[in-house]
Structure 1
Amino acid sequence: MFQSFDSHATPEQGPPRLAALRDVMTHEGLAGFIVPRADAHQGEYVAARDERLQWLTGFTGSAGFAVVLPGIAGVFIDGRYRVQVKAQVDLDCFTPVPWPEIKAGDWIRQHLDAGEVGFDPWLQTADEIATLRAVLEPAGIGLRPTRNLVDAIWPDQPPAPCGLAFAHPDALAGESSADKRARLAEGLRNAGQRAAVITLPDSICWLLNIRGADVPKNPVLQGFAILHDDARVTLFTDPAKLDEATCAHLGPQVTLRPPAAFVPALRTLTGPVRVDRGTAPLAVSDEMAEAGIDVAWGDDPCRLPKARKTAAEIAGMREAHLRDGAAMVEFLCWLDRQTPDTLTEIDVVTALEGFRRATNALHDISFDTICGAGPNGAIMHYRVTRDTNRAVRNNELLLVDSGAQYRDGTTDITRTVAVGNPRDEARACYTRVLQGMIAISRVRFPKGLAGRDLDPLARYPLWVAGFDFDHGTGHGVGAFLSVHEGPQRLSRVSEVPLEPGMILSNEPGYYREGAFGIRLENLIVVQVAEGLGDNRAQYSFETLTFVPLDRRLIVTAMLSPYEAAWLDAYHAQVLAQIAPRVSGDVLDWLKAACAPL
């Protein structure tokens, strides 16, 4: 629970582990092996047992994969991790590959003439393997499902997680599990499907109104489930994870089975059975196909309903954000009182967690706090360790991206603050990032638009200066669930239409390697916009996060009148909402931080 500052892998460990993997590949008659970051549930955050990519390479990012060939081992990373990976892997053994600009199939064809590349079918989806096969097979390169070769060489691999699950009250969920199951089962019947296989832990937890403790920072239960067309659910997980009270909460229509029973159960289903080819392990559909069961490809039936938050969930998220906002204000006030050069990144992270614990409502933090001082702020998903811990120095920027899990909601907030008097160039870049965040906050948009349609609004102020950022503008957020939730996103690739109740982050940024990083993040929820003009169906965003933005970093002359008015109105809201929750010197600090421009 809470944050550790230990390093779990080092670059020096990579070469002998890579050599051992290549030895096993040779023994298996394979010319390559794929090592994904994901686990069997395609989770971004995985249990210690499933940290295969990190164990092999040293890379700790939350997305990516490795492809190991006889003469080269590529570590595929997206724009968030291009700086980080160079510090974490042995560059004499591992080659960083910019992804998705360079696709795995094209890269393998470039570096391998012939042979078979192995993969664990429990860690790859049908979509992933079909995409690779389409590129590799015409070149005479095969793909072979095999046992997991990293597990074969990992002598002290941790055991499977076995955290205790617990009930999530209907009052917070806004809908009973029975009603959810009945609604989704009706959808299966209408589609002519007899069952759906559910492999995403947050989908299972949402459907059954339970939470778990199998994955750090995300309150989920790992397992698999089958939703039948009569609203029954069979849940496959270690029975030790569910006590008597939780079993009683699940009720008689939920049958608990051990994980070993999952594959036999798949092979006895009556089709058509819905499987999500983008999230389910390939092994699931292969087992059913081998047994002659009709597989109906379709989306996980829980994902969209889960994304459309109920009124109760939104109310819980509002309250969680007010509680968390007060803790953040306490923290920012404390931070302003500290003397530069006497404070380290670990000191900052520890203090912030302390303010959240003081609420007496904290379940856990929602991810390891990102605290980057000066140049460390340019490492987008930087996680401080005892080895990398840096002093917070005068006249620099400090980026703090953090969040909390409360029983009534999940928070995620980023603030970049001034330490001393940063240079004018840094202030101008901060203002451009702020302008992007304001653009998303203010937008009204027609029903039917997706995240990709809005993403450019956050980038335009940076684009006109020749800048950009290499991550999406926003991700979905669960309600006391995963801090990164699909399918809703604000990004160039998101085609999922935004709908009322969807909660997203609004977090543009700018990163200058070796100098500083800037990111600003509020959480927002899609709402129906009040009627204007000819009353076309339009949506807008309600802001959930109420924490001041650092006025010392804003170049006021760069703001339009509309942007300045939004910022003053936002700060007035922050003061009105948070002032009753703080007092004394903290209240004085808040009033000054929220003063009009």
Structure 2
Amino acid sequence: MNTHEARLDALRKELQRQGLDGFVIPISDEHMSEYVGAYAQRLAWLTGFGGSAGTVAVLTDSALEPSAAIFVDGRYTLQVRDQVDGRLYAYESVPQTNVAKWLGTHAPAGARIGYDAWLHGKGWVAAVTKALAEKDGELVAVAANPVDAIWDDRPAPSPAPALVHADRFAGLSSQAKREAVSEWLTERKLDAAVISALDSIAWLLNIRGSDVERTPVTLSYVIAHADGTADLFIAEEKLTPELRQHLGNAVRIQPREGFVPALHGLAGKRIAVDPERAVQAIFTALEQGGATVIEERDPTVLPKAVKNPVEQQGHRDAQARDGAAVSRFLRWIATEAPKGGVDELAAAARLQRFREDSGDLRDLSFDTISGAGPNGAVVHYRVSEETNRVLEPGSVYLVDSGGQYPDGTTDITRTVWIGPGAPPAEVKDRFTRVLKGHIALARAVFPRGTSGSQLDVLARQFLWSAGLDYAHGTGHGVGSFLSVHEGPQRIAKSGGAQAGGDQELLPGMILSDEPGYYKTGEYGIRIENLVLVEPREIAGAEDAFLGFETLTLVPIDRALVDPALLAPEERAWWNAYHARVLEVIGPRLEGADKAWLEAQCQPL
């Protein structure tokens, strides 16, 4: 019995002890974070899956077929098969199916299925409750997570101190932000809002931390009140004199364990809670305490997404430093990889060193996706000692990476040809189709009120015309020294409030522009820049129009482009973009790096 089989067996024994017929384990924490701390990596510990999104359903009776399943979306179709034992878990694809449907089909009649109310949202609970009720089953909130009961060496939550995020980076004081929330609450005749998303708390109070890998947040909760004050629930060891001084008297510091009693103490109050960002346990605690719960979007979400002028300039500054680092890396790759001695791990490590040399790097913004050849076809590939490949001459290499700087968060993907020799015609065709889609989105001009889902087809059209597509969104929001994946804005096929595709794009929002193409077992292609939504002046326009300013400034590999497939306006975009790259990045490089950049930025 291997490690993960033994852990699954131990979990089933614990479920029997708790009188449960099954249990559901998501990748999540008490704040519904996308990326979670080591203490909350229950699914990874149980199954070996290393992705950032997924859920497992386990039935206690191992004789059932299937008796467990893992649910992932199209980004992880290949990865989950590499990392999770198919003898133990059935592979299920979201959104084609989901946990509620699966349990409705496979759970025994009358089953008691457990869940941790601190790890699931209200909508999920309602959907699974309904599915189980149709089989006379029930969804049971556990008092203690059964995975924790068998995870003997589970890490403790991070004790790292919370840090002050200076107003010179934030562009707006915490007091001003709290006053805006106060006005929002007053307009709606609400007494308070529960803020539980870690990036929302960080933005509202102008604090940061290092409790979640790659995302500079600190574990805490906030109750923001209509009078402009707030209660911050945080572990004592995270407090410093600087933090106390920064927060001032209007932010009352409370012990983290006081959060639930505080929710119970809001009897008779009208409290706003975001059902997309707050776990079921928060709703339960408020209702048990006698509060009236009003479901509203977290009032910090939209202001956080719409970057103020200081944050916009901070992003430009961070992108310039980051662009110089990535350009130095691409020159190094172009020189060293054709010799055959560079592997994925070495490339990722060298890229991180270039970023560290650029100054002010606080962390990566996510684990670098360093995919050589067929590994590049795994959309969210995570290199390990077991999967590490050499960047072989005559192959495609995809690198998706980013940095966390105090003035901005970066995210860039470049796909390059490892010489010598020319890329095959098929690779150049696919790359150029992806490039054409990238340019179409970057050049888009659209009326105010347009959502991301309305623009998505621009990036896919040239792939679609060849019968091709990609199984991920085209663009996600990006934070300001916060989460590299930030809502509510998104560019994707489907709309819907939860997906973010229906969110109107507003001036000041930052998104990625990242179409791709992936040929399983051979190569992957993605071109990603970050763009800023900006007003666009059009002579004679009868409405307000918007467009994108491209923030990311790094050359795109000319060797992979088939110029014959580019229209004149696409060539013009390419030439203008690379002239801008040379203008901004050129002064930051010298010697061989600068000469390489100048060659890469020559007009097509």
* TM-score, with length taken from structure 1: 0.97
Match of 1:520 among 521, 524, 527: 527
How far does residue 334 in structure 1 lie from its aligned partner after superposition?
1.1
- 3-state SS of the aligned residue for 2:112? strand
Paired AA for residue 29 in structure 1:
G
1:315-346 deviations in Å (ceiling 9; x for gaps): 00000001111111111111111134211111
Residue 21 of structure 1 is matched in structure 2 by 11
Aligned residue for 1:433?
434
Which of 113, 116, 120 matches 2:116?
120
Structure 2 CA distance for aligned equivalents of residues 446 and 13 of structure 1: 55
**Structure 1 SS opposite 2:46:** helix
SS across alignment from 1:235:
strand
Q: CA deviation at 1:26?
A: 1.5
- CA contact 2:103–2:131 (8 Å) conserved in 1: no
Q: Are the counterparts in 1 of residues 272 and 293 from structure 2 also a CA contact under 8 Å?
A: yes
Does 1:99 pair with 2:89? no
Identify the residue that residue 586 of structure 2 maps to in structure 1.
579
User: Could you tell me which residue of structure 2 aligns to residue 8 of structure 1?
Assistant: none
SS state at 2:459 partner: helix
The answer for the alignment partner of 1:4 in structure 2 is none
Task: Report the counterpart of residue 498 of structure 2 in structure 1.
Answer: none
Unaligned runs of 5+ in 2: 496-500
Tell me the distance in 1 between the aligned counterparts of 2:454 and 2:188. Answer: 30
Partner of 1:550: 557
| Residue deviations 1:4-23 (CA, integer Å, cap 9, x gap) | xxxxxxx9421111111111
What residue is the counterpart of 2:203 in the other structure? 206
- Following superposition, the deviation at residue 80 of structure 1 comes to 0.2
CA distance in 1, matches of 2:2, 2:458: 43
Which residue number in structure 2 is paired with residue 355 of structure 1?
Answer: 354
Query: Which whole-Å CA distance do the structure 2 matches of 1:117 and 1:15 have between them?
Result: 21
| Superposition deviation, residue 134 in structure 1 | 2.7
Shift of 1:139: 2.8
One-letter identity of the residue aligned with 2:108? D
- Per the alignment, in what secondary structure is the counterpart of residue 51 of structure 2? coil
Aligned partner of 1:54 in structure 2 is 44
Q: Does 1:36 align with 2:34?
A: no
* TM-superposed deviation, 1:422: 2.7
Q: Which residue of 2 aligns with 1:7?
A: none
2:518 to 503, 511, 524: 511
Aligned residues of 2:423 and 2:559 also touching (Cα < 8 A): no
CA deviation after TM superposition for structure 1 residue 257, in Å: 1.1
Residue 268 (structure 1) aligns with: 265
SS at match of 2:391: coil
Q: Tell whether the 8 Å contact from 1:571 to 1:595 is kept in structure 2 after alignment.
A: yes
Superposed CA deviations along residues 425-455 of structure 1, whole A, max 9, x for unmatched, are 1111111111111011000011111111111
Helix, strand or coil for the counterpart of 2:385?
A: coil
SS, match of residue 470 in structure 1? coil
* Residue type of the alignment partner of 1:359: S
Higher mean C-alpha displacement, 484-493 vs 539-548? 484-493
Residue 414 of structure 2 aligns to a residue in which SS? strand
Give how far 1:135 is off.
Answer: 2.6
2:280 alignment partner in structure 1: 282
Shifted more, 290-299 versus 370-379: the winner is: 290-299
| Alignment match of 1:300 (pick from 282, 285, 298) | 298
- Aligned equivalent of 1:481: 482
Partner secondary structure for residue 460 of structure 1: helix
Q: CA deviation at 1:360?
A: 2.2
| 1:77-226 mapped onto 2 (5 Å cutoff) | 77-114=72-109, 115-146=111-142, 147-226=144-223
**Letter matched to residue 326 of structure 1:** A
Counterpart residue type for residue 72 of structure 2: I
Instruction: Kindly state the Cα deviation for residue 62 of structure 1 after the two structures are TM-superposed.
Output: 0.4
Q: Which runs of 4+ in 1 moved over 4 A?
A: none
**Alignment TM-score, normalising by the size of structure 2:** 0.96
Q: What's 1:68 paired with?
A: 58
Between the aligned partners of 1:335 and 1:156, the Cα distance in structure 2 is 40
Q: Counterpart amino acid of 1:59?
A: F
Instruction: Select 2:249's aligned residue among 243, 249, 252.
Output: 252
| CA distance in structure 1 between the aligned counterparts of 2:238 and 2:456, rounded to whole angstroms | 41
Q: How many residues were matched structurally?
A: 587
Q: Alignment identity in percent?
A: 46
The answer (yes or no) to whether the contact 1:12–1:90 under 8 Å persists in 2 is: no
Q: Which moved more, 1:133-142 or 1:468-477?
A: 133-142
Preserved CA contact (<8 Å) 1:53 1:66 = yes
Who is 2:545 aligned against? 538
Gaps of 5+ in 1: 1-10
Aligned to 1:463: 464
1:411 corresponds to: 410
- For the residue of structure 2 that corresponds to 1:343, the secondary structure is coil
Task: Check conservation: 1:366, 1:403, Cα contact below 8 A.
Answer: yes
- 2:139 aligned partner, one-letter code: L
Q: Secondary structure at the match of 1:118?
A: strand
Q: Bigger CA drift: 505-514 or 99-108?
A: 99-108
Task: Give the residue type in structure 1 aligned to 2:478.
Answer: V
**What letter corresponds to residue 315 of structure 1 in structure 2?**
Q
